[in-house]
Amino acid sequence: MSPDLTNGRGTPGCFGPSTSLAWIILPFLLAGCGPRGGAAQNPGNPAPVSDPAAQPGTVNAAPVDPATHGTGGLPEGDAVPVRPDQAPLVRIEEALTADSLLGRRVRVLGRCTAAGTGRRAGSWTLEENGSEIEVRGLVPYSCGPTSTASITIFAQIEPKTAGSKDRLLLRLPD
């Protein structure tokens, strides 16, 4: 039985004669919009997708204790220093010889003894107790052969060329 859509005078209502068909189709269209048969609803997430942790074969990460781990859940020893105060302080001799420091970010103490010019303007030498290493990056104002001021820089130890045993420092922003 369909509702009477006439205006009481025997003539079709304002929607015309096809309105009764719309009343038949409308419940089927609305049934497809409901959550029945779909993914579980999460009140915190309005999107009709299932929680990734609820999928079979997934494992949730163990909770991390911030007191024993650094940022991002990495242990302090494995964390990459992003600020100078997080990097270990090493001597130039260690930077030149210790394979464990290759690719690591460190602080190095020394004095600038030579600065490049022209095409080598960003290259300079850091020296300490007879050991010296090439540094690429921002040159200190006090740099020169007569410099006596000690500086500590934040840098990453890298090979001079691919496969080389020689090292250099890539100076990072302080």
* Residue 4 CB contacts under 8 Å (≥ 6 apart), including other chains: none
Which residue did the predictor score with more confidence, 143 or 108?
A: 108
Identify which of 132, 94, 136, 91 has the alpha carbon closest to the alpha carbon of residue 109. Answer: 91
Which residue did the predictor score with more confidence, 45 or 25?
A: 25
Q: Would you state the structure tokens that stand for residue 88, as one six-digit string? A: 């270990």
Residue 14 is predicted with a pLDDT of 56
To 5 degrees, how large is the angle CA 147–CA 148–CA 149?
100
**Is 0.75 surpassed by the pTM of this model?**
no
CA distances from 139 to 46, 54, 125 (A): 54, 54, 9
- Average pLDDT over all residues of the chain: 75
Q: Tell me: the pLDDT tens digits for 15-36?
A: 555 667 777 777 766 666 655 5
Report the relative pairing of strands 105-115 and 89-90 from DSSP bridges. parallel
* Residue 94 CB contacts under 8 Å (≥ 6 apart), including other chains: 101
Identify which of 119, 117, 103 has the alpha carbon closest to the alpha carbon of residue 155. Answer: 103
- What CATH code would you report for 84-171? 2.40.50.140
Q: Highest mean pLDDT range out of 77-81, 140-144, 158-162?
A: 158-162
Place of tokens 């090439």: 134
Domain boundaries of the chain, sorted by first residue: 1-60, 84-171
CA distances from 30 to 8, 14, 106, 134 (A): 29, 23, 64, 73
* Residue 151 CB contacts under 8 Å (≥ 6 apart), including other chains: 109, 110, 111, 112, 126, 140, 142
Give yes or no for a contact between 111 and 151, defined as CB atoms under 8 angstroms apart: yes
User: Which amino acid, residue 101?
Assistant: L
